[in-house]
Amino acid sequence: MSQEVDILVTASGGGHTGYAVALAQRLFGKVELKFIIPEGDLWTKSKVIKYGEVIEVPKPRGPRDSLWTLVKGMPRALAKSLNSMPRSKIFVSSGSNHSIAPALIAKLKGSYIYNIESSVRFTSPSRSAKLLSYISDVTVLQWNEQLRILPRGRVYGPLYELPEYEIRNEGYVVVTGGTYGFKKLFDIVSELNLKKVVLQTGRVNPGLYKSRHPEWIVFDFDPEFNKWIAKADIVISHLGKTVIDAVLTYRKPTIIVPNPEWRLTASIKDARILARKLNAVLIEDLTVKALEEALDMAKRVKPPTYPDGAQKLAEEILGRLRK
């Protein structure tokens, strides 16, 4: 392990990994990058390993776990961060409780800290972003509206990934519930008369949907999942960074279906605001009829454009490293 690296970035799973990738795409080849990922997160490792080495640190809590789980897991995360992290000139937190321990250790070792707030937060800050705002040099906001919840933050614009695949329409619908899956959504989609579907189930067993719909493409994970988004006609997703990349990176009509099972995630009010900003269709009460209507509406929407927040942040970081 080297004595000091240019930049350490947490890639904390799901959409948080997406922020890390978006930034890495703009920085790769210009600086030395290392990534701190959750232990055993093979999907995240596959996403970031092309940009730099990885360090694995425990993630104390999942979205369905209790606060006590976080309390019990934090000492181990702190110890592993202290023992495995090199010093860095700049440390970037991509969010989630996984980033807390590494950020605290980075602060102790003298790093300049950027703290990224989620792109789906408008009415209240995420707990990790709020906590880390007290020790961060810069809290990175993605929308002007987020100044109401983190007034000391700085707005850069949305952090979305650069397209890595040719964009075209091949007549299918992409459905995803993120890393942990969204069984209710998958079950409702399964009741529709859709012949061409690409379904990523996450931690939900894909076997049930493969047997029901042998004509569908069904899998639990694909590290190159964006290749399916690039060729989709419509994307259906839970409330997370996938909707940002579907709309802003790949210009796809998108349907947002918040997952009520997730604890401490963005509220339905946040979902409404994000849907308006992305010209996405929002389903608040998931039923077969609601999804059928949403699919019809999505065919008529046009994705918006926004400034490239990841590029702006990358340029600032490069400027700071040159000082």
Report the pLDDT value the prediction gives residue 101, as an integer from 0 to 100: 96
> Could you tell me where the DSSP H helices lie in the chain?
14-27, 42-48, 67-84, 100-108, 127-133, 183-191, 207-212, 226-230, 241-244, 268-278, 288-298, 309-322
Report the pLDDT value the prediction gives residue 178, as an integer from 0 to 100: 85
Tokens matching residue 238? 């839970």
Worst-scoring range by mean pLDDT, 69-78, 96-105, 143-152, 248-257? 69-78
In terms of residues, how long is the chain? Answer: 323
CA angle 8, 224, 265 (to 5 degrees): 65
pLDDT tens digits, one per residue of 85-123? 999 999 999 999 999 999 999 999 999 999 999 999 999
pLDDT tens digits, one per residue of 304-314? 999 999 999 99
Fold for the domain defined by 4-159+308-322: Rossmann fold (3.40.50)
Dihedral angle, C-alpha 166, 116, 153, 321, nearest 10 °? -90
Concatenated DSSP letters of 191-255: HS--SSEEEE-TTS-THHHHHH-TTSEEES--TTTHHHHHT-SEEEE-SSHHHHIIIIIT---EE
Worst-scoring range by mean pLDDT, 2-11, 68-77, 198-207, 314-323? 68-77
Tokens matching residue 229? 């988004």
Worst-scoring range by mean pLDDT, 26-30, 193-197, 221-225? 221-225
pLDDT tens digits, one per residue of 174-220? 999 988 899 999 999 999 999 999 999 999 999 999 999 999 999 99
> Domain extents for the chain?
4-159+308-322, 173-298
Fold for the domain defined by 173-298: Rossmann fold (3.40.50)
Q: What is the mean pLDDT of residues 216-242?
A: 94
Q: What is the DSSP letter of 37?
A: E
- CATH topology match: 4-159+308-322 vs 173-298: yes
Report the pLDDT value the prediction gives residue 128, as an integer from 0 to 100: 94
Residue 65 one-letter amino acid: D
What mean pLDDT, rounded, does the chain reach? 93
> Phi first, then psi: what are they for 138, rounded to 5°?
-140, 130
Instruction: Give the number of other CB atoms < 10 A from CB of residue 205.
Output: 11
Of 149-153, 240-244, 319-323, give the range with the top mean pLDDT.
149-153
Q: Give the integer Cα–Cα distance in Å for 197 and 220.
A: 14
Report the pLDDT value the prediction gives residue 264, as an integer from 0 to 100: 45
Query: Which residue in this structure is represented by tokens 């008369």?
Result: 193
Q: What's this model's pTM, rounded to 2 decimal places?
A: 0.91
Q: Give the integer Cα–Cα distance in Å for 271 and 262.
A: 14
Residue 118 one-letter amino acid: S
